[in-house]
Amino acid sequence: MPKIQDTPPPVVIENLKLLATDLDQKIPSKCLDKNLLIASWNIRAFGNLTRKWDSDDDDSPKRDLHSVLCIAEIIKRFDVIAIQEVKANIRALRDTLKVLGANWSLILTDVTKGSAGNGERMAYLFDTRRVQLSGLAGELVVPKEWTNKIGEVILDEQFARTPYAVSFKANNQTFILVTLHIKYGKKSKDRIKELKGIAKWLADWASNINVYHQNLIALGDFNIDARGDLLDQTFLSEGLFVPPQLQNKEVTRSIFKKTKYYDQIAWFNNSKKIPNLSMQFINGGNYDFVPTALKNREISTRSLSYLISDHYPLWAEFKL
């Protein structure tokens, strides 16, 4: 049985070279003490894997060693990446960390119990040569006293998957990332309570001068259907800001539904009560791995979604 540290077959090596070349052209390079690359990626059911270079149709899970190498090749282009849909079994995540090497580290939550939580964890992977933990880590809990209404109590229960906040430092610049995965629900209005809850929580935290730090960046899968819809308006209702580069219609989020706006990277900007982000935003976008990852294999888009993901990674570059 092959292992992730083994030398891959020639066809896998060739595909990884192709992927690396494409990434070189589309993702900014890491520049020492100059920039910071933050990303968010919902990696579909990121749990177990099949220890083969090329999984068969009857293998379960579909994700194989070739897929993990592609995922790691993409992740290593960023300084810190928030990952959603990490499952209880973290074999694929552990193998990804092995590929990334000794300079990479991991921090993640325990498994979310209950059917709504879908057995998921929240995780951050980060390049310790560029980013270090700065002391704060915690899951966000909403006070029962909050009854901000739009016709009804906005969030009268805890998040289905608790948002995870972790503080990092890069070149003496401290920032807090808050990642989450809003529950999808049976219909879109089922998401409004959680979207309003996280927006209010972040605004309350960022406006308090006594908190650990005001540099907050929210990122993750917010399950927002379209730009400007009620879900999007609710998410932005407390002052969160999404830069135009990440609102561009070309920056798609799903490999299936090109018009969906699920994933976000946002922060507070030009709010009267909340300090602006002290890091200067440079640019942002997604990475479309579909034409390149696993290109040597004749697989459907659906199969690719289980091997790599059904979401594109979303990234933002900041000046240090």
CA dihedral 50→252→196→178, nearest 10 degrees, is 60
Tell which phi-psi region holds residue 284, choosing left (phi > 0), alpha (psi between -120 and 50) or beta.
beta
Is residue 2 assigned to a domain? no
Is residue 96 assigned to a domain? yes
Is residue 250 assigned to a domain? yes
Phi, psi of 218 (to 5 degrees): -95, 135
CATH of residue 213:
3.60.10.10
Residue 312 CA: distances (Å) to CA of 24, 231, 253: 17, 20, 5
Is residue 5 assigned to a domain? no
Is residue 140 assigned to a domain? yes
Q: How far apart are the first and last CA of the chain?
A: 45
Half-sphere exposure of 74 (CA within 13 A, CB side): 29
pLDDT tens for each residue of 180-189: 998 777 777 7
The helix (run of H) or strand (run of E) holding residue 263 is: strand 263-268
Burial category of 270 from C-beta neighbours within 10 Å (exposed 0-12, middle 13-18, buried 19 and up): exposed
Is residue 263 assigned to a domain? yes
pLDDT tens for each residue of 176-221: 999 999 877 777 777 888 888 888 888 888 887 566 566 889 999 9
- Counting the structural domains of the chain, the total is 1
Q: What is the pLDDT of residue 206?
A: 82
Query: Which residues form the domain of 79?
Result: 10-319
Is residue 64 assigned to a domain? yes
For the chain, list residues with pLDDT below 50. 149-153
Burial category of 71 from C-beta neighbours within 10 Å (exposed 0-12, middle 13-18, buried 19 and up): buried
Is residue 4 assigned to a domain? no
Q: What is the pLDDT of residue 308?
A: 98
